[in-house]
Amino acid sequence: MTLLTPSRPPRREAASRPTAWPTAVAVAAFVGFCLWNWPPSSLQFDLRVYVAAAGDFLAGLDIYEASVRHPEIGMAFTYPPFAAILFAPLSLVGTGVGRVITVLICAFSTLAIGLVSARAIWPHLPAVRLRTLGLAIGAAGVALEPVRSTFDYGQINLILTAMLLVDLLGYLPSRYRGVLIGIATGIKLTPGIFLIYLVVTRRYREAATAAAATIATMVIGFLAMPAESIKFWFKLIYDPGRPGASHFISNQSLRGMADRLTYGEGALYWLVLALAALVLGMYAARRAYFAGQHLEAILLAACTALLISPISWTAHWVWALPICALLWSRVRTTPAIAVLAAGWTVTMAFGLPWYAPYFGDREYTHQGFDVVLGNSYALVAVAFIATSLLTKRRV
């Protein structure tokens, strides 16, 4: 089946009462479930970091010293200055209300991921069936550990993924395509892989727009916080250990895997592996794109970013939601795809890395099957890229 990229957002069809009400009830039920499962009393450690950094920005203080002034948050703010500006409203309303707002946005983002993924996979389904299937896929996302962890931590991974899919799948007017990619990159850097993706797929105008939007976020950050911007872009960005120990089990990037296997001496191996993953991953994405498999191409680029990034915590792997949907839609094609779909689903649903020994540097003790468990997110991503490369394409 050819996955078509819509040239414009799908037309709104007049929904009859019998179809509109069930949809509204289903959405309300899912949002209610999320609010019940992640109430304002949730810890959401990462959200506390965002709120603290945003509060320091409003107070004219160094956002990268927030963990020193607020030792209770336990972690440093690691995003570009532009992100702290966007988080400012959360600081104004307080952490409790901020948790409700974050959960709401994440819940709607999860449903949006399901909806746009369904339309990319089954573009010819009737609107009602497509909407039902998309909402079901989105709601099923909470069965996956990366999605649950994003809610647990008060993270923004689901929001960024929804933004990127909406942009990359053509739901914006043509003149604005690339803007959301640039904004997402200005918030968290790793979406910058999609600037490369746009270039290798010859979407040069969108790449230029994305680059301009990224630069705009940097300029805004510099105007608001010049000292912090210089500190981030010329110092902190080169410190891969600032977000946390790279060998910790939650880091499922190639760097994390290399460090766990070499007792923390995997930097050189990571560079070689990351370069190979970048070349092969972008080649696979290019092949899939020009074969008309646009969603697959996007997901291959996302996996490449997760693999080559120095840090890819398990919560960052929310791309597993559309990947699982895509793989299960093809499960009847070959036994290899069926095995890959099952592997991704089991790995992400159970959060297999957490079943290997961790804490107290026990990651260095992995042997035998613990090596597979402890690096399982990275391994299924490599398998996804390899399977795509081995698939015959009619371009």
The mean per-residue pLDDT over the stretch 94-110 comes to 95
Mean of pLDDT values over 226-252: 91
21 versus 200: which is more confidently predicted?
200
User: CA 132 to CA 26: how far, in whole Å?
Assistant: 9
Tokens (6 digits) for 52: 């603290």
Q: How many distinct structural domains can be found in the chain?
A: 1
- Grade residue 215 by pLDDT with cuts at 50, 70 and 90: very high
Give backbone dihedrals phi and psi of 293, rounded to 5 degrees, phi first: -95, 75
The terminus-to-terminus CA distance of the chain in angstroms comes to 13
Calpha distance 81→230 (Å, rounded): 10
User: Band of the pLDDT at 19, cuts 50, 70, 90?
Assistant: low
Q: Are 279 and 340 in contact (CB under 8 A)?
A: no
Q: Radius of gyration of the chain from Cα atoms?
A: 21
Is 115 inside a domain boundary? no
Q: Which H/E stretch holds residue 293?
A: none
Give the confidence band of 15 by pLDDT, cuts at 50, 70, 90.
very low
Q: Predicted confidence band at 14 (pLDDT cuts at 50, 70, 90)?
A: very low
Q: Report, as an integer, the average pLDDT of 269-282.
A: 97
Pair 102, 155: CB distance under 8 Å: no
pLDDT of 152 > 60? The answer is yes
The tokens for 337 are 């795809």
At residue 149 the predicted structure's pLDDT band, cuts being 50, 70 and 90, is very high
pLDDT of 94 reads 85
pLDDT value at position 7?
46
Q: What angle do CA 268, 270, 271 make, to 5 degrees?
A: 65
Q: Is residue 193 part of a domain?
A: no
Q: What is the rounded distance in angstroms from the CA atom of residue 106 to the CA atom of residue 343?
A: 26
Average pLDDT score over the chain: 93
The Cα 194–Cα 168 span in angstroms is 9
In a domain, 73, yes or no: no
Longest dimension (CA), the chain: 62
For residue 110, list its beta bridge partners: none
Query: What is the model's pLDDT at position 169?
Result: 98
**C-alpha angle 194/200/201, rounded to 5°?**
85
Q: What is the pLDDT of residue 364?
A: 96
Task: Look at residue 208 and tell me if it is in a domain.
Answer: no
Beta-carbon contacts of 192 under 8 Å, excluding residues fewer than 6 positions away, are: 185, 214
| Residue-range definition of the domain harbouring residue 335 | 244-395
pLDDT band for 1, please (50, 70, 90 cuts): very low
Average pLDDT of span 199-204 = 98
- Answering whether pTM is above 0.85, one says yes
Is 256 within a domain?
A: yes
Listed range (30-34, 41-45, 100-104) with the worst mean pLDDT: 41-45
388 lies in a domain?
yes
Does the structure show a pLDDT above 60 at 337? yes
User: Does 8 score more than 70 pLDDT?
Assistant: no
Residue type at 322? P
Q: Is 134 a domain residue? A: no
Share of the chain above pLDDT 90, in %: 86
Question: Does a structural domain hold residue 277?
Answer: yes
State the average pLDDT over residues 94-121.
96
Confidence band for 365, pLDDT divided at 50, 70 and 90: very high
- Reported confidence tier of residue 394, pLDDT bands at 50, 70, 90: low
